[in-house]
Copies of this chain bind each other. A is one copy, B any other.
Amino acid sequence: MASPIGVAIVGASGYAARELIQILLKHPGVKITTATSRQDEAPRLDALHPSLAKRIDLTCETFDADRIAEKAAFAFLALPHTASMAVVPALRERNVKVIDLSADYRLTDPQVYEDWYGHAHTDVAGLGSAVYGLPELFRDRIPTAGLIANPGCYTSTSILALAPLVAENLIERTGVVIDAKSGVSGAGRSPKLTTHFPECNESFSAYSVGRHRHTPEIDQILTTVAAGQGEAVEVIFTPHLVPMDRGIFATIYAVPRQAAVEHDLLDLYRSFYADSPFVRVVNHLPATKDSAYTNYCDLTVRVVRGRIVVLACLDNLIKGASGVAVQNLNLMLGCPEETALI
């Protein structure tokens, strides 16, 4: 086997970075050669993440584009939004390919970005070149991309659940209800009251009703999927917090244009995802636990009193973040899509 390709982890202290490192450690084609952290002292990776003890011997550095370009052909950015677009241009100038796990390059219209994120976009040129990294829909464009906008976790779940219906123009395009539920790791690693154990444990709650930032991302990609079919897709998206570590579950309600038949819909989904190794169209009602710690998205469809109900789930840190990032890497490397992911 050829010598492994160097990859950099930019922003190593969070959960997505930790998962990413664990996956990449199993990848025969790459080697993590450098990692950065904004923490003052230069922590070892296994000090940030004790679960990495004995598995990787690397000390975080502060970000330096030259140094990354010297050591890595690919950089994974696990940074907060706005921090990504501050470093992407320097990396791209140095020909480092970038897989960005933040939201900075997902929304193609910089005004929409500003409306939802409250900051002007500072790399509009980069935005134009980014490819949305959902392999199940954009598998053809990913291999040659220089900058991947890795999708949001709620977004992937929702889009994978709705794409077949939208692509086939089977449902009303407005008023699609996405009732979504997430484990707490989706809220990141910074302690705050809402994610303090005695507050969110043994509790179920809604948050950001009507104003969650994954809303325009879902609208945009589904509208793309529906291309040429008239009005834009507009979803009613409601996120909730579930007292568990990981997993996203979306229950989606859509109004069919014509009377829907359950087994026809299941056939459609199976056909649509026939070449997608990580989507499992199941007959039973899915549970997040069956997809936890894997790169699978499990989904099924039901017809209830004339409405189409899609139920989909995945692991927010893997298929919803770091696993799909490696899936994108695999496509860019030209190696099997499943590498390090099964």
Contact = CB atoms under 8 A, between A and B. Distances in A.
B245 A296 contact: no
Contact of A342 (B26, B205, B209): B26
A285 B207 contact: yes
Number of copies: 4
Given A189-B198, A280-B53, A302 B210 contact: yes
26 contacts: A25-B342, A26-B342, A50-B282, A51-B290, A53-B290, A53-B296, A53-B298, A54-B277, A177-B177, A183-B198, A185-B198, A189-B198, A189-B199, A191-B191, A195-B196, A201-B201, A202-B289, A202-B292, A203-B288, A203-B290, A204-B247, A204-B249, A205-B286, A205-B289, A209-B302, A242-B242
A45 to B, nearest CB: 13
A248 B171 CA distance: 30
A291 interface: yes
Interface in A178-207: 179, 181, 183-185, 189-193, 195-207
A309 interface: yes
Given A53-B282, A196-B196, A204-B244, 14 more contacts: A50-B284, A175-B305, A191-B191, A191-B195, A195-B198, A197-B200, A197-B245, A198-B245, A202-B245, A203-B292, A209-B302, A210-B305, A242-B243, A253-B253
Given A193-B191, A236-B304, A277-B54, A249 B210 contact: no
A136 interface: no
Contact of A203 (B54, B251, B289): B289
A311 interface: yes
Interface in A18-74: 25-26, 50-51, 53-55
Contacts of A175: 255, 305-307
A217 to B, nearest CB: 15
A294 interface: yes
